[in-house]
Structure 1
């Protein structure tokens, strides 16, 4: 079984913010075949189809690990893939890795603290401007919105392929190194 986690913050207030690209990608991946298996014990929206779970933690970013740990403890997936925004990558850059440091991302830190860092990551670049906290909780600019759908569709294709392949092959095929000049 594979658990795919998209990081973000719940509520309408954060719906279109940079920090929520993980949630946005889960929404794209969630086809009608996925059944809602959410439960209070999972602290998140959880969907299942065959051997794939899609999770949107509802704990707010800094406590994402609580939800991931609850689902991990119950379903014991063989593989975990976490999708998240990355301030250190230019807007539109996409990278893939397994393990490594959190890079200061509080959602990743929370997961690492509770289950370790032996999972795969899809890092979606959002760039960095000004105060990091305000920036990640801000909405995409109009210019960014014009590219966002293309970036998310590219990432969806990558994740679908990742389910059938390994992180190194997907990294070579789907990484976008420079991102988009905005």
Structure 2
């Protein structure tokens, strides 16, 4: 996996509405918002696509940033509309999402796979299959599966939010590689564990 065709769409997952804006499940929104903000861009609503879009140029590459406005469980409806309208293949899509299996402060890039219990991914896979890229932003796990729904729909602690924002910043730093299809380089940077404070 030394290179891939350049991406055409980066999709952040989350739930629309002020009541969900700061909840853990919206980490995907936070990431694409950060990318747009850094570039001085604003999102606009596109009713045809059931979402909000803007166009990001980075170096020689340009890509759609997209936030579905269908609620998480129906993300596939919006992502399918975007892919159909712009004729974007699944392999040219990166989905950014929260991940219970990673601790806050962790971010990982992977290609393909299952949904891992994530309802947004489940719905997108139902529309497109599973061949798209994923940027997984760790939010931690509450410890028991019965607590998951309440956990993802609540705000992280201040410390956790700082850790999540730090992870998003690290992802931003490698986006030129991701957008250009240099996935091995991006994965090596993001997927290599950082040394602990004592150097181990």
Q: TM-score, normalised by structure 2?
A: 0.82
- Pair 1:86-2:93 in alignment: no
Q: Select which of 156, 160, 163 maps to 2:172.
A: 156
Q: Distance in 2 between matches of 1:179 and 1:112?
A: 35
- Pair 1:137-2:153 in alignment: yes
Superposition map of 1:100-111 within 5 A? 100-111=113-124
Query: Which digits, 9 at most, give the CA deviation of each residue in 1:85-144, with x for residues without a partner?
Result: 000112222111111110010000000000111111000111101401111111011221
How many pairs were matched up?
Answer: 179
Q: TM-score, normalised by structure 1?
A: 0.90
Q: 1:176 to 1:141 in 2, by over 3 A?
A: farther
Further displaced range: 4-13 or 74-83: 74-83
Q: Distance in 2 between matches of 1:152 and 1:35?
A: 18
- Give the Å deviation of 1:168: 2.8
Computing the radius of gyration over CA atoms, which structure comes out larger, 1 or 2?
2
Q: Distance in 1 between matches of 2:192 and 2:167?
A: 9
- Pair 1:146-2:152 in alignment: no
Superposition map of 1:17-166 within 5 A? 17-30=23-36, 31-32=39-40, 34=41, 36=43, 38-49=45-56, 51-78=62-89, 79-129=92-142, 130=144, 131-166=147-182
Equivalent position SS for 1:38: strand
List 4+ stretches of structure 1 deviating above 3 A.
34-38, 176-180
Query: Which digits, 9 at most, give the CA deviation of each residue in 1:128-168, with x for residues without a partner?
Result: 01401111111011221232322221121233321123333
- The aligned counterpart of 1:14 is 20
- Give the Å deviation of 1:169: 2.5
Q: Distance in 1 between matches of 2:65 and 2:55?
A: 6
Q: Which runs of 5+ in 1 are unaligned?
A: none
Q: Which runs of 5+ in 2 are unaligned?
A: 1-6
Contact 1:35 1:49 in 2 (8 A): no
